[in-house]
Amino acid sequence: MTNVCDCTRPCGDAFACRECTATARENLRHIADLTAALDEKRAKVRTNWDVSNVGASKPAKRWRVDDGEHTTFAASPTFTPSAALGFDPRVSRVADRVHNGLVGIVREMPDETWGSLASDAGSHQIARWLLHQVTAIRLMPTAGEIFDLLGRMVGDLHRLFDNPPPALFLGECKMIGDDGTECTESLYLDADKVTSAEVACPRCGITHDVAERRKVLMDGVNDYLGTAKEISRLLRNIAGSDVSERRIREYAGHGLLTRMGTRREYGRDGAARDVATYRIGDVRRIADDVQQRRDERRAKKRGRVEGLSA
């Protein structure tokens, strides 16, 4: 029987297709490189990134810190985060979440594969070790969930280094007070509270559901056009969902997403290029549909595995 990957591609006897496996390898390279830089982030080292590529195994581009010191970094697809903040309280939370996730993946691997991994290995070492286990993970029934977890880890690390706004704007309060007037106070959610369920108006004290406020904001931009990079960042910072640039381009390549036009952009070298634009609402709808089908397939897959083991 031929299995179907979460992305709908056939994958033979495996549980993830070759394309998703390649993406998982790329994500592990990103995780290895970025977790290696967490100490500088935690030590309040402000950085001026000169990294056009992050995520491959061979040294390439430079990473300059403010004191003029130079150190090698790894090369991979374009990733150019802005200058890092001096002290960021998110570092420990993100580092712990990534490390716990990586350890959880290791524990799902067969015991006999652990021999080459040190018991006190850090996130960087574990990610590098898992790079050699991706083919084996592809054959595991939980491959789709593991690969998705790796994608979320990369999203967490990118948000940490890419410095989203210190506060997320969630629109105006607009609640009607006892005197019949509408509260026009702006609602902001601190960057270290982006997972909060509620936000309180600083003027009238009324609490608002964060998920609902996010949805209202996103519904208001459905008909706007943006590039894959712009839409990915918008969905990450405002909607709280991770839809990578690569995933958006895959939607277009598979015929799921229609290009609505192009925009002329200029690179650092001054060279002009035409970049495809897409309707934001279309990307949201497709991402939601893909996730729903993925969840349904996983539920069926779990049922088959449990039936075989019963």
Higher pLDDT, 57 or 148: 148
* Residue 141 one-letter amino acid: P
Dist. CA 50–CA 47, nearest whole Å? 9
Beta strands 225-226 and 272-279 are antiparallel
Burial 164-191 (b: 16+ CB within 10 A, else e): beeebebeebebeeeeeeebeeebbbeb
The contacts of residue 214 (CB under 8 Å, 6+ apart) are 170, 238, 239, 240
Across 139-160, average pLDDT: 89
Residue 179 has pLDDT above 70, yes or no: yes
**pLDDT over 90, % of the chain:** 25
The contacts of residue 130 (CB under 8 Å, 6+ apart) are 28, 102, 105, 106, 137
Across 116-124, average pLDDT: 84
Higher pLDDT, 156 or 165: 156
Higher pLDDT, 189 or 97: 97
Across 11-25, average pLDDT: 91
Could you tell me which residues are beta bridge partners of residue 64? 48, 70
Domain residue extents for the chain: 3-161, 165-219, 222-310
* pLDDT tens per residue across span 62-73: 333 333 333 333
Q: Which of 113, 139, 112 is nearest to 24 (CA)?
A: 139
* pLDDT category of residue 147 using cuts at 50, 70 and 90: very high
On whether the pTM is more than 0.85, the answer is no
What pLDDT score does 86 carry? Answer: 38
Cα(first)–Cα(last) distance of the chain, in Å? 20
* pLDDT tens per residue across span 226-279: 899 888 888 877 776 778 888 899 899 889 999 999 888 776 667 788 889 999
Q: Which of 89, 92, 85 is nearest to 35 (CA)?
A: 92
What pLDDT score does 40 carry? Answer: 64
DSSP 235: I
Residue 126 has pLDDT above 90, yes or no: yes
